[in-house]
């Protein structure tokens, strides 16, 4: 009876050892498979395209000076009419032209400084703004506007308020194609990496789309926009 107990205990011990060894092997195999499953590569894909701006905002500023306030307002009105007629003759619709209020300065009312050397008591600036979707036509008119200088109109264009602004509003229309292009380029990079590392490219683990950016193509061509987006994609790798 005592010998049977010893034999039973030995058998149980052997079974336990075998079980532990088997469990250890299974755990090791599972860990290796899990580690392989977690192998991945993160890549980026760029899509960058150029599009023409579809809206132009053109502030036209002109300066004036007079000693008589009544004459000054008459000068502002006559100059504004000349400019508006010129714009419409060049194909810019009246609905695309906005006339702002003149900003007038009375030199004699200024608190500081001496007026002894001031030639004109009143000076000011008037702004006429063109807001149009016909960008190319407006650009052609811009180059011809200086001709009005022969009629005594003094244009000012060297300040921030007078800068021309070009806008691209079709981003939602181009987004799908650009995202697809960026994603495809990211996959090309990932496939090259997988090939070089003797692996196979698996499914996407995670992906993120960067923000779209719109900028001038260059400082001399602000009417041409560079639209850019970068997609980041992480793929699983397998042997």
| Higher pLDDT, residue 9 or 236 | 236
Condensed to tens digits (0 to 9), the pLDDT of residues 173-195 reads: 999 999 999 999 999 999 999 99
Judged by average pLDDT, the poorest of 72-76, 114-118, 126-130, 165-169 is 114-118
Residue 25, pLDDT score: 47
For 205-227, the pLDDT digits (tens) are 999 988 999 999 999 999 999 99
Residue 6: pLDDT band with limits 50, 70, 90: low
Average pLDDT, the chain: 84
Q: What pLDDT, on the 0 to 100 scale, is given for residue 23?
A: 44
Decide if pLDDT at 16 tops 80.
no
**How far lies 43's CA from each of 24, 179, 185, 195, 229, in Å?**
36, 14, 9, 14, 14
Q: Which of 157, 163, 145 is nearest to 223 (CA)?
A: 163
pLDDT for the residue numbered 149: 84
* Position 37 confidence tier, pLDDT thresholds 50, 70, 90: low
Query: What torsion do the CA atoms of 85, 88, 94, 98 make, to the nearest 10 degrees?
Result: -60
Q: What is the pLDDT of residue 86?
A: 95
> For residues 79 and 160, which has the higher predicted lDDT (pLDDT)?
79
Q: Write down the pTM of the prediction.
A: 0.75
Mean pLDDT of 86-103: 95
What sign does the dihedral 150-151-152-153 (CA atoms) show? negative
Residues 28-54, mean pLDDT to the nearest whole number: 75
pLDDT of residue 29: 47
What are 102-131's pLDDT values in tens digits?
A: 999 888 776 555 555 678 899 999 999 999
Res. 200: pLDDT tops 80: yes
Percent of the chain at pLDDT above 90? 58
pLDDT in the model for residue 83: 95
Predicted local distance difference test score (pLDDT) of residue 239: 77
* Positive or negative: CA dihedral 185, 187, 193, 198: negative
pLDDT at 97: 97
Q: Mean pLDDT over residues 43-70, rounded?
A: 95
- According to the model, what pLDDT value does residue 238 have? 85
Tracing tokens 């000693």 back to the chain, one arrives at 67
Whole-number percent of the chain with pLDDT over 70: 79
């Amino acid at each position: 009876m005592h010998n049977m107990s010893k034999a039973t205990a030995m058998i149980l011990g052997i079974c336990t050892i075998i079980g532990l060894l088997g469990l250890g092997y299974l755990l090791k195999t599972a860990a290796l498979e899990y580690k392989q499953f977690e192998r991945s590569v993160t890549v980026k894909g760029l899509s960058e395209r150029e599009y023409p701006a579809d809206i132009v905002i053109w502030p036209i500023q002109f300066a004036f000076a007079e000693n008589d306030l009544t004459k000054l307002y008459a000068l502002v009105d006559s100059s504004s009419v000349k400019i508006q007629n010129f714009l419409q003759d060049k194909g810019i619709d009246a609905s695309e032209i906005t006339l702002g209020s003149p900003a007038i300065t009375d030199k004699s009312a200024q608190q500081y400084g001496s007026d002894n050397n001031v030639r004109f008591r009143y000076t000011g600036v008037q702004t006429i703004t063109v807001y149009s979707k016909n960008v190319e036509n407006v650009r052609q008119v811009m180059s011809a506007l200086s001709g009005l200088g022969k009629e005594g109109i003094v244009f000012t264009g060297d300040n921030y308020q007078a800068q021309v602004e070009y806008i691209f509003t079709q981003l939602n229309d181009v987004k799908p194609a650009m995202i697809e292009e960026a994603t495809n380029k990211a996959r090309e990079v990932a496939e090259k990496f997988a090939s070089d590392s003797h692996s196979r490219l698996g499914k996407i683990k995670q992906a993120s789309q960067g923000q779209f950016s719109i900028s001038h193509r260059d400082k001399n061509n602000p009417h041409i926009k560079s639209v850019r987006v970068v997609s980041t994609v992480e793929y699983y790798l397998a042997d």
